[in-house]
Amino acid sequence: MQTETYILLHRMIDAATTEHDVKIVLRRFHEIVDTKRDGTTKEDLFDAAWAFCCLGGLYTSLGEPLLAEWSYLESIRLFDKNDMATNAATLSVSLAKLLAAQGRLVDAETQLKQNVEYLMKQWGINSNQVYSAEEELKHFQRTGEIINACQHVWCRACDVDDYGVGFDAEGR
């Protein structure tokens, strides 16, 4: 699709305020998905992955978590298939947050593990990106929270104490 088309479609999402409008926007994105998802070109796969990602956001805002989850999973799959593992990784974290908010911690953990896998694919096992993703996974496994853990300098759960203040300071 042309750049203008992406912009126009994004504007449609922003402008849709009534149920009627939202249904039209949903139909438009489903049309894109239907015509592009089995495409053979990188452009088709990107369009389908992008449209699925937009559908995920739309269904989230409509309070349809299962349809949002399905859309994000399809988007992740197609981005990965299209050699865009970084996009797949970013979306895996978004989906993990969505699942964690529903109390589905095991499924959220699966997505955070996927995030590590996709980043390994893109950047290699010894990259900072993979290290950060592993920190996030570890912190989540210990606390059930997603916090951008690579930036934490003090965390009892992860035994991170970069300032050397110790773990007794908390209650003082």
Chain residues binding Zn ion by CB under 5 A are 139, 149, 155, 157-158
Could you give the CA distance from residue 129 to residue 115 in angstroms, rounded to a whole number?
10
Least Å distance between CB 89 and Zn ion?
A: 20
Residues 6+ apart with CB under 8 A from 1: 32, 43, 47
**Pair 9, 54: CB distance under 8 Å:** yes
Least Å distance between CB 82 and Zn ion?
A: 33
Return the number of other C-beta atoms located less than 10 Å from residue 116's C-beta: 20
Least Å distance between CB 113 and Zn ion?
A: 17
Cβ-based nearer residue to Zn ion, 33 or 149: 149
Cβ-based nearer residue to Zn ion, 100 or 155: 155
Least Å distance between CB 142 and Zn ion?
A: 7
Least Å distance between CB 155 and Zn ion?
A: 3
Cβ-based nearer residue to Zn ion, 48 or 108: 108
Cβ-based nearer residue to Zn ion, 121 or 152: 152
Cβ-based nearer residue to Zn ion, 47 or 136: 136
